[in-house]
Structure 1
Amino acid sequence: MKTALTVLLAAAALAVPTAAPRPAPAPPPPVARTVSAWLPWWNTDVAYDDALRHADQLHTVSPFWYTAASGTDISGETGAGEQRIIDGLHAKGIKVVPTVTEVPDAASMTALMNDPARRTAHVDALMKVVASRPYDGLDLDYERMTETEDADLREQVRIGYNALTSELCTRLHALAKQCVITVMPRTSTTGHAYDYARLGTVADRLRIMGYNLHDALDKPGPLSSVAWYEEFLTYATATVPRARLEVALPAYGWDWTVGSTARAKHVTSQEAEVLRRRVGAEYVFDTASGTPHFSYTDTDRKRHEVWYQDANGSAAHLAVLARFGVTGSGLWALGFEDTKLWDTLALHGQGGAR
């Protein structure tokens, strides 16, 4: 009896069609990396750890490592070229594109850049930096050369810089390396030494420093503002393809002593918030600029004003980028920022992986 029942049950099981196996779920799409950031040499370990924690959002890190003291003398800061840093970033899929700044002033740089032989010698020196490590390119952050009120000299800087960057980018591209150029915002009063239209055709990315609207020698005020972003992005998006634009956000602030002509003290966004809490100052958010600030009196009874940036303010400025269709953002600098900023960047990330 038991054997017959077993046969009947087996037959019944064969008669019932089995459900087709469900296909394995598709893997989630990769997280879009929309952010580049500078790594300051004086805060290497903190900045490096910060980069690793947020590797899924970073496509490029630019260690602030090199300085051009002359046409052929390019020196490294403390820790420049540290292989541990390069390898660790590469292991996380992050490109390493070190930054080079310059020491010579406008007149000296004009003489160098507009002399074909000296210009090529300078490019040779820059290419030696690229070849010295497994770098993915170079970020040229030449600012001092633009500090002149002489319109004719500024025009010569513009012409020379166009020639320099064209030569450098051509040679970098021949090695499949990235050519990044960092510039000041182009407004009615600033950034005129940079030929955005030309630079935007030779560079892979044009990084606009979206900060220092008020600098350490100015009167107290916001480091950036919504209206200022709208002004320089109106010009930038009319002259440079949006895919090549990047706007670097500030992650720091200035602590001014009211009534003093002394240089304001630099504070990171984290330091500014710690200071605000320590002195018991009220958090005030300036909605017009999109910037937090506070005031306090020190132990010498001197009045201070601190303007800085945090995730709240960055959200207002990232919204401007979105309105202009700019998907690339940057950060000055790793290890400085409000920790909530990364969530804000993720919410406003509009672009794909670089």
Structure 2
Amino acid sequence: MRRFSFTCARIFLIFLFFLCLLAAEPHPHVWYYAIGGDLKKSDFDWQSKFQQNVTICFTGGKIGKDGKITWIEIPAYLLDSGIAKGVRWIPMFAFSSKTEGIRLLKSEHQRKALLGSLVGFFKKYPKYSGIHLDLEGLPSSSANDFKILLKELLPAFRTENRKLTIALFPQIGFSHEPSGFHSEISRIDLADEVVLMSYDLHSPKTKPGPVTGLSWTKENLTLLVKSYSPEQIWLGIPLYGYSWKTERKKPDIITRKSSSRKMAEFGRKKDGIHILENGSEFSSLIVDETDWTILVREFGIRGLAYWRLGF
């Protein structure tokens, strides 16, 4: 009886030991994109996302004429609640228009004005961890100007102890029109962190096909780690997909929330994504990210970045 009790006690202690190890394991690094306006909605369970090693990057910031910026504010209770749980809040900024973007990047005066605006922003909102530049839609002729801007911003951000993060288009197997603008900044380390936007391989601007692919993403990660260290890189994957129907010219947008059950049941998994293809429809959607998590571990990069919450 004593021997039995001793054995049980040993098993129980071993169980407790491994349970403690699991409890001590940190939450994996995750980046969530969010629509800025959703931060004020009461029907979204934000608390479920508030964990250690989570970054929430929210839209709404605009870079306008003469380097002036506008933004939205997070409700104070939400900001503080997230920070208390270990969340990094990073506002996203985009150009207000293509014309303003080209003009600003060309002008040293406007670039300096933008830098001053961003430093002033950090003084006003010291709880933000940095900013995210999602600058898209500009021609490849502005690629070098973008590189110059980042060279000017990065030292100032580090002086302010803030992170400069940027979104990057894939440089392999992607349309040159959007990716060309990012060609220079993809080849040299000019930011603290980057998000590889591994989506829209096929989109309303292309023929029907998968919205992303594991092998295509792997090619682009292999290229990107030559310029940025793995711990700087986030892998951006879509929580949406596209569904082409024979009677329509443009595809419908489908999401994890709306279509994962259908895609899991009727689609087939290929190259990390579920595909539903028949005589009248071609749809694609990442139903689960198991293969993508394995890819993150394979490259040793920072984590997955999801576009976006609500999908």
Map 1:22-171 → 2, pairs under 5 A: 28-44=23-39, 49-56=44-51, 58-76=53-71, 80-105=73-98, 108-133=100-125, 134-145=127-138, 148=139, 154-155=140-141, 157-171=142-156
User: Within 5 A, what are the aligned runs for 1:233-248?
Assistant: 233-248=221-236
Q: Secondary structure at the match of 1:216?
A: coil
Q: Please give the per-residue CA displacement for 1:294-338, whole angstroms capped at 9, x wherever unaligned.
A: 3699xxxxx443322221xx22233233322323221111232xx
User: Could you say which residue in structure 2 is the equivalent of 1:307?
Assistant: 284
Q: Which runs of 5+ in 1 are unaligned?
A: 1-21, 149-153, 298-302, 337-354
Deviation for aligned residue 1:173: 1.4
| TM-score normalised according to structure 2 size | 0.81
Q: Secondary structure at the match of 1:90?
A: helix
Aligned to 1:183: 168
| Cα displacement (A) at 1:257 | 3.0
State how many pairs are aligned: 289
The CA distance in 1 between the partners of 2:42 and 2:302, in whole Å, is 23
Report the alpha carbon displacement of residue 115 of structure 1 after superposing the two structures with TM: 1.7
1:241-286 Cα offsets, whole Å, 9 max, x none, are 1111111121112233335333x33232111236x38xxx952123
TM-score (norm 1): 0.72
Partner Cα distance (1:137, 1:41) in 2: 16
CA distance in 2, matches of 1:54, 1:266: 24
AA aligned opposite 2:122: V
What is residue 257 of structure 2 aligned with on the other side? 270
- Aligned pair 1:217/2:205, yes or no? yes
Asked if structure 1 preserves the Cα contact closer than 8 Å seen for 2:88 and 2:129, the reply is yes
Contact (CA 8 Å) 1:37, 1:58: kept in 2 or not? no
1:67–1:100 Cα contact (<8 Å) kept: yes
Unmatched tracts of structure 2, length 5 or more: 1-12
RMSD after superposition: 3.0
Letter in 1 for 2:272: G
Three-state SS of the structure 1 residue aligned to 2:210 is coil
CA 1:186 to 1:48, structure 2 compared with 1: closer, same or farther past 3 Å? Answer: farther
Partner of 2:267: 284
Cα deviation digits, residues 8-66 of structure 1 (max 9, x gap): xxxxxxxxxxxxxx9x9888535143111111134336799555314336431111121
Preserved contact between residue 50 and residue 334 of structure 1 (Cα < 8 Å): no
- Kindly state the Cα deviation for residue 179 of structure 1 after the two structures are TM-superposed: 1.0
- Quote the Cα distance in structure 1 between the aligned partners of 2:162 and 2:191: 11
- Write out per-residue CA displacement over residues 185-239 of structure 1, whole angstroms, 9 at most, x where no aligned residue: 1215442322245652x31101111111112332322111122112101110122
Change in CA separation of 1:159 and 1:84 when aligned onto 2, cut-off 3 Å: same
Structure-2 separation of matches of 1:38 and 1:172:
21
SS at match of 2:181: coil
1:208 equivalent in alignment to 2:185: no
Decide which moves more: 84-93 or 38-47: 38-47
1:240 to partner: Cα distance: 1.3
1:317 aligns with 2:310: no
**Greater Rg by CA:** 1
Mean CA deviation greater in 167-176 or 89-98: 167-176
Following the alignment from structure 2 to structure 1, what is the Cα–Cα distance between the partners of residues 39 and 258? 17
Query: Which residue of 1 is the match for residue 243 of structure 2?
Result: 255
Q: Report percent identity of matched pairs.
A: 19
Instruction: Report Cα offsets for 1:61-114 as digits up to 9, x if no partner.
Output: 11112122334343335xx33323322211211111111112332x65333213
Contact 2:39 2:74 in 1 (8 A): no
Once residues 41 and 142 of structure 1 are traced to their aligned partners in structure 2, the CA distance between those partners, rounded to angstroms, is: 17
In the alignment, which residue of structure 1 is the partner of 2:4?
none
The DSSP-based 3-state class of the residue aligned with 2:57 is strand
C-alpha separation in 2, matches of 1:221 and 1:126: 40
Say which of 259, 270, 276 aligns to 1:294: 276
SS at match of 2:306: strand
Change in CA separation of 1:224 and 1:47 when aligned onto 2, cut-off 3 Å: farther
